[in-house]
């Protein structure tokens, strides 16, 4: 049975719920909800196990805070004996417009502290990432406020649509592999 480790990046605590930086948590919550699974507190992460079409997905939302995410990723990869090619990190991305998602086989952390931590713990940046575009519509010097801010009511319907597409992307990725999934999803532009 094929096993995958899905890592949603975010920060724990009610004050971070539904913020741009927590989109990784939101995607995994939606995936779990679709499959009637729930997260339980475990070592370094909230964890849910989902079985879907002959696949097992270990879904983790690290409870280490963003800049220590790598510790949780390494622990769960080792515990579940999942190879780097079968992980998928879901992360917010300022460099992508809100209308886009981007699946990549590898690539730099682009200044994202969660990705930086994972790279440090795995010793490589060559692991699959699903980047969820959050745009960069903020005044100079206000990046942190924007990233940690909640979605606006105008943005929210598009965010929900993209989150549901990310769940479909995860399913597609597990069935046909990363190349075909990148070809299907990276060209998409989301709109209402």
112 classed as catalytic? no
**What sign has the CA pseudo-torsion 22, 39, 44, 53?**
negative
From first CA to last CA, the distance across the chain in angstroms is 38
Q: Which of 20, 21, 61, 112 is catalytic?
A: 21
What whole-number distance in Å separates Cα of residue 74 and Cα of residue 62?
11
Give the three-class secondary structure for 187.
Answer: coil
Residues identified as active-site: 21
């Amino acid at each position: 049975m094929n096993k995958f480790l899905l890592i949603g990046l975010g920060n724990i605590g009610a004050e971070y719920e539904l913020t741009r930086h927590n989109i990784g948590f939101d995607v995994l919550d939606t995936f779990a909800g679709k499959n009637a699974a729930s997260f339980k507190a475990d070592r370094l992460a909230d964890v849910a196990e989902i079985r879907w079409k002959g696949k097992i997905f270990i879904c983790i939302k690290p409870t280490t805070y963003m800049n220590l995410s790598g510790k949780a990723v390494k622990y769960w990869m080792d515990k579940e004996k999942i190879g780097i090619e079968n992980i998928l990190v879901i992360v917010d991305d300022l460099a992508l417009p809100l209308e886009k998602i981007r699946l990549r086989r590898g690539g730099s952390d682009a200044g994202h502290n969660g990705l930086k931590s994972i790279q440090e713990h795995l010793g490589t940046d060559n692991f699959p990432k699903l980047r969820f575009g959050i745009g960069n519509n903020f005044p100079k010097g206000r990046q942190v406020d924007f990233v940690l801010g909640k979605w606006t009511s105008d943005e929210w319907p598009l965010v929900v649509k993209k989150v549901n597409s990310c769940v479909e992307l995860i399913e597609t990725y597990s069935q046909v592999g990363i190349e075909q999934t990148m070809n299907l999803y990276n060209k998409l532009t989301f709109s209402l």
